[in-house]
Amino acid sequence: MPIPHDVNETLCRTGPNTTMGQLFRRYWIPLLISSELPDKDGAPLRVTVLSEKLLAFRNTDGSVGLIDEFCAHRGVSLWFGRNEEHGIRCPYHGWKYDVNGQCVDVPSEAADSGYSQRIKLKSYPCVEQGGVIWTYMGAPSDQPPTPKFEWNLVPSANRYVSKRLQESNYLQAMEGGIDSSHVSFLHSGELHTDPLHKGTKGAKFQGDKKPFFEVQESTGGLLIGARRNAEAGTYYWRISQWIMPWYTMIPPYGDNALNGHAFVPIDDENCWVWSMTHKPAAALSEEEIHAMDHGEGMYAQLIPGTYKAVANKRNDYLIDRDLQKSGRYYSGVKGIGMQDGSLQESMGTIQDRSLENLVSTDNAIIMARNRLLKAAKNLEKGVAPPGLDQDSHFVRSASVELPVGVPFKEAAAENLKAALGQSHVSKISV
């Protein structure tokens, strides 16, 4: 059944003091790629996350500060500020703030007056892990352990991380990541030619356009099994992980790398689509890195110097109707990443889910919505949400062929556990 408008509003709104906003602030949030702040005392960055306008800067000692963008004096944007000597100084009247938002100098006031100590901007702690700057925006007393996803623990040579701007609410982007049934249609043209997919049995078996879904709750989110017909007497299972509040782990194709996404709200009408690729036991090849740099696989070709896709709604995603008719690109849009992004943005910035007509292959989406709503309701009662513990992060997706009648969860249990230094297996026999 479609969800009522008020429930849709609850799920989609993530600013301060909203139901989802309070929930999301209990998790560590991927904020920036570390290379976005390359230099100590370098230029600061404006950052909007969960509808809060903030300023990020790398301190003299290399640590990262995340504070309110606007000076407490008269509201000037500190993006214009001078980042120097362990703080950011407002160029208007010289008020200076450290990485914790504490004002440490008001030049117009006597040093012994103690005035600066009474001024403090909102600030959030940051850590760097896996080439990513993470922040925590909740109450300090509730701060969970730092993230323990396999991709952010492997050596940097084994990992590739990027992001792109998507002009839609986070939820419709995330629901696209959960939905495995669309692969047989939207991405069907490229699975046999994309360098990160071609030649694999997974690409072959996606031709079954009527997958059966089995969805189960996991400790941190959902375990989503999509079953398709395979060789005689077997099923091909693609087992995705959805981890609270916005992570998806994409089942691998053959021996190719493992992939995942994070869908992080900028505000209610825009989000960051993070893409993470890693190999647990080997460095990524030059060919793989070249493919990802050039928008192959789930990645998008970006406008140089930005995280905006070359193919975007202002140029109709460079749709090619001739190639659409030929089947080379099923939707006419090139690239798996922008095939997703184009359709998700086409729903509008915030989809009206009261108009939906859902079917059985949407069960994972329904369960994810319900799990988010339940977690938010329980949080109001003082119950910590799922997916905060590191064990919930340290898991993998899997692709397996199993004999008909063999339960996927039990048979693939070992494949669903992360193991640093050990390669994943994409086929098992039972």
pLDDT, residue 351, reads 96
pLDDT tens readout for residues 252-278 = 887 889 999 999 999 999 999 999 999
Residue 289's pLDDT band (boundaries 50, 70, 90)? very high
pLDDT, residue 429, reads 45
Q: How many CA atoms lie within 13 A of 205 on its CB side?
A: 22
What span, in angstroms and rounded, lies between the C-alpha atoms of 414 and 425? 9
Residue 426's pLDDT band (boundaries 50, 70, 90)? low
Q: What is the mean pLDDT of residues 284-294?
A: 95
Q: What is the mean pLDDT of residues 25-46?
A: 98
Q: What is the mean pLDDT of residues 244-259?
A: 91
Q: Can you tell me whether residue 348 is helix, strand or coil?
A: coil
At the topology level, CATH places domain 150-416 in: Naphthalene 1,2-dioxygenase Alpha Subunit; Chain A, domain 1 (3.90.380)
Q: Tokens 């690109």 sit at which residue? A: 329
Residue 192's pLDDT band (boundaries 50, 70, 90)? low
Locate all alpha helices (DSSP H) within 253-307, ordered by sequence.
286-293
Q: What is the mean pLDDT of residues 212-231?
A: 90
131: left (phi over 0), alpha (psi -120 to 50) or beta: left
CATH architecture of the domain with range 28-142: 3-layer Sandwich (2.102)
pLDDT, residue 229, reads 86
- Tell me: pLDDT of 81 over 90: yes
Residue 194's pLDDT band (boundaries 50, 70, 90)? low
What span, in angstroms and rounded, lies between the C-alpha atoms of 217 and 387? 12
Q: What is the mean pLDDT of residues 75-86?
A: 98
- The residues with which 360 forms a beta bridge, in sequence order, are none
pLDDT, residue 210, reads 77
pLDDT, residue 332, reads 87
Q: What is the mean pLDDT of residues 218-228?
A: 93
What span, in angstroms and rounded, lies between the C-alpha atoms of 166 and 274? 10
- Tell me: pLDDT of 45 over 50: yes
Q: What is the mean pLDDT of residues 81-105?
A: 98
Q: 207 or 78: which carries more pLDDT confidence?
A: 78
pLDDT tens readout for residues 342-399 = 999 999 999 999 999 998 888 999 999 999 999 999 999 999 999 999 999 999 999 8
Element of type H or E holding 364: helix 363-380
- Tell me: pLDDT of 15 over 80: yes
pLDDT, residue 430, reads 42
Q: How far is residue 391 from each of residues 129, 222, 254, 374, measured CA to CA in Å?
A: 17, 14, 26, 21
pLDDT exceeding 90 applies to what percent of the chain?
76
Q: 410 or 35: which carries more pLDDT confidence?
A: 35
pLDDT, residue 211, reads 80
pLDDT, residue 213, reads 85
Q: What is the mean pLDDT of residues 107-119?
A: 94
Locate all alpha helices (DSSP H) within 3-106, ordered by sequence.
5-12, 19-24
pLDDT, residue 93, reads 98
Amino acid at 112: D
Q: Can you tell me whether residue 345 is helix, strand or coil?
A: helix
Q: Which two tokens stand for residue 57?
A: 């800067």
Q: How far is residue 170 from each of residues 147, 174, 271, measured CA to CA in Å?
A: 20, 6, 5
Q: What is the mean pLDDT of the chain?
A: 92
Span(s) in the chain for CATH 3.90.380: 150-416
* Contacts of the segment 405-414: beta carbons below 8 A, 24+ positions apart: 406/430, 408/214, 408/225, 408/227, 408/237, 408/239, 409/216, 409/223, 409/225, 412/237, 412/239
pLDDT, residue 390, reads 97
- Tell me: pLDDT of 106 over 70: yes
Q: Return the beta strands (E) in 326-429 as ranges.
A: 398-403
Q: 24 or 361: which carries more pLDDT confidence?
A: 24
Residue 230's pLDDT band (boundaries 50, 70, 90)? confident
Span(s) in the chain for CATH 2.102.10.10: 28-142
